[in-house]
A and B are shown apart, each in its own frame.
Chain A
Amino acid sequence: MENEYILKIQNLKKYFETPYGTVRAVDDISLKVRKGTTMGLVGESGSGKSTTGHVVVGLFPPTSGKIFFKNKDISVPLEKRPKELKRDIQMVFQDPASSLNPKKIIRDIVGLPLKVHKMVQTKEELEEKVAKLLEMVELPPEDFMYRRPVDIGGGEKQAVSIARAIATNPSFVIFDEPTSALDVSIQAKIINSILNIQREFKLTSLFITHDLSLMRNISSEVTIMYLGKVCEIAPTDVFFQKPLHPYTQMLLSSVPVLTKEEEELKPKGIKSIGEIGSPIHPPSGCRFHPRCPYAKEICKKKEPRLIEVEPGHFVACHLYAEK
């Protein structure tokens, strides 16, 4: 059964030293991603969702904690990671404009990972493969192959980044807010390409976003983070029917919606108040307590543990503490 999980994160911490103090970007989180599923990682700025993605892909070494990928410990610095691992885990970044080399043509951008991992021998083979990849993200190869990133639109650039990410046939892809810089009509296109690719390649992915409505449509499980901590983990359906953590409820109630059916899903009786705390000096105890309408004495002192309230549904809140 344990093999079912392709990625396991255990007690991961990532701190950054700054002149103002230590930023506890990710502070002791654990989560598991099942093979072939999409885990949605949701949080606001400073929650540590992007840092988590960056540590998994190897951009930063973890401060402490373990990351297991296919049952192998990968919590080592990037240069010590086997090359095969770099082929197997890929990432799509938020801002396509700054993640594509403006001087290169699309063929070379998408073809680079193929060359690095020696997956093609000849130039013809390369072009053929790149053309296939571009088709997969619905960019006609004859139009795009020889253009540069500056000549194409934002949505098309993001499609190129996706083509590059899947070029090496990875089994795990991290999407870091891939559509937050795009218009809704373009977002819809990109999300559809991602869904198709996930289906076709049987990809496992970590989808980082702040948009709950989008997450609802793309992921099978959800992890909610707040100031470097995990608040709640649940299967997507359960999550929307029964959000448990007060922060999750506040987040859900803050989403502006378009229809009456959606309005019914929003938790009533909770209003967004207060400011997101500082990750340098996070609030004591439960980090959400200064904004929580249900905060008790214990919340200020003791940090709640993540407990399983029903199968697969975890929450870190004293309201649900073991009785």
Chain B
Amino acid sequence: MNKDILLEVKNLHVGYKTHMGISQVLQGVHLTVRKGERIGVIGESGSGKTTTMKSILKILPSNGMIKEGEILYQGRNILEMKQEELLELRRKKISMIFQDPTSALNPLFKVGQLMLDIIKYSYNLEETEAKEMALKALRDAALPDPERVFDSYPFQLSGGMRQRVCIALALIGDRELIIADEPTTNLDVTIKAQVLNLLTKLVRERNVGWIFVSQALGAVRENVDRVYVMYAGNIIEWGQTEKVFSNPLHPYTQKLLECVPKLTGTEFSKGIRGRVPNYFNPPSGCRFHPRCDFVMDECKKTFPEPVEVETGHFVACNLYRRR
């Protein structure tokens, strides 16, 4: 057991029970986060990013079913933990920052009250100590005038400030892993940059592991060490950020990067033909095969085994096998 590894997701299969049958969303997702490592997960909507993150914290909606797989946190399987252990984990070790700070903060309580409740519940502290901790967290999140923020209702703060409050909450105490699911999607461009800079700075300083989930490819590229690319419930490519972005291997990754408009004005592609698959009846083999320009017979049969093309840069695509 490598002591360096904080979180390891292995062969995760997750589906949802619906009135239309059981959807097969995740198909063998895997992910590794080392201590203090910054990980990016990219993919388009519906690729299973959020389902993966929710599985890690075991906060899937009630119709979600984890069918197979292991989620090891420092060697211990989260999926087999007792409720008490799981709560302890969520209280002190892993925290999550959601996309929409407005719905993540209860509108009926002042920010201070929300923070105090969480701190007291997690750490058994006295009121004054807890308040000290809350104010420090707000200060660390670069909120101007933390006293005022502490005494405000969420609606009295701007979107950027609300997300800073969520970041402050997520980083209270000695966290080891922060999961941020599209933390800046709802914010304006200049505010986005501020919030991301803050998050990266805090994550670095405190040496916590960070999973940054986003559709914003540029933002991921600028802020993480390693990146995983998801398509239709599979991890199809992963490796060091610079390698994946400068030398994308999977046909989907290549196409996806071509779709992003560039500041240089270089012409971008005409999109990817076809549609994202339906999870009730997903394509056999590689789920990208109906949209792939390089499709071969074997792609339709089995999901390709990942291949390490260059050190640390893996791809699950038949084009790279048998070399």
Contacts and interface: CB of A to CB of B under 8 A. Distances in A.
Contact of B260 (A45, A184, A253, A271): A184
A275 interface: yes
B260 A258 contact: yes
Interface string A149-182: 0000100000000000000000000000000000
A210 B191 CA distance: 12
Contacts of B189: 44, 210, 212, 251, 254-255
B261 A254 contact: no
A189 B272 CA distance: 8
Interface in B107-144: none
Nearest to B158: A275
Contacts of B269: 188
A194 B259 CA distance: 15
A262 B262 contact: yes
Contacts of B160: 275
Given A212-B263, A275-B158, A189 B271 contact: yes
A185 B217 contact: no
B275 A184 contact: no
Contacts of A186: 271
A63 interface: no
Nearest to B265: A216
A322 interface: no
A213 B260 contact: yes
A133 B158 CA distance: 42
Contact of B264 (A45, A184, A211, A261): A261
Q: Is the interface of A mostly helix, strand, loop or mixed?
A: helix
Contact of A188 (B197, B264, B271): B271
Contacts of A255: 189, 218, 263
Contact of B222 (A256, A261, A273): A256
Interface string B247-272: 00000000111111111110111111
Interface in A215-232: 216-217
A119 interface: no
Given A153-B275, A185-B44, A254-B190, A191 B215 contact: no
Contacts of B263: 212-213, 216, 240, 252, 255, 257, 262, 265-266
A259 interface: yes
Nearest to A257: B218
Given A251-B189, A275-B158, A276-B188, A258 B194 contact: no
Interface string A241-260: 00000000011111111110
A272 interface: yes
Contacts of B45: 183
A178 B158 CA distance: 25
Contacts of B192: 254, 256
Contacts of A261: 262, 264
Given A188-B271, A210-B189, A258 B265 contact: no
Nearest to A214: B261
A24 to B, nearest CB: 18
B31 interface: no
A118 to B, nearest CB: 36
A184 B217 contact: yes
Contacts of B222: 256-257
B279 interface: no
Best-surrounded residue of B222, B256, B270 (most CB of chain A within 10 A): B270
Nearest to B184: A256
A225 to B, nearest CB: 13
A236 B261 CA distance: 15
B221 interface: yes
Nearest to A183: B44
B161 interface: yes
Contacts of A240: 263, 265
Nearest to A278: B158
A192 interface: yes
Nearest to A211: B261
A251 B268 CA distance: 22
Best-surrounded residue of A187, A212, A240, A259 (most CB of chain B within 10 A): A259
B81 interface: no
A192 B158 CA distance: 35
12 contacts: A184-B215, A184-B259, A185-B255, A185-B272, A187-B259, A188-B271, A192-B271, A212-B189, A214-B261, A240-B263, A258-B221, A265-B263
Interface of A: 44-45, 153, 183-189, 191-192, 210-214, 216-217, 236, 240, 250-259, 261-262, 265-266, 271-273, 275-276
Given A187-B271, A258-B257, A276-B191, 15 more contacts: A44-B191, A153-B275, A183-B44, A186-B271, A188-B269, A192-B271, A210-B189, A212-B263, A217-B261, A254-B192, A254-B193, A257-B218, A257-B222, A259-B264, A261-B264
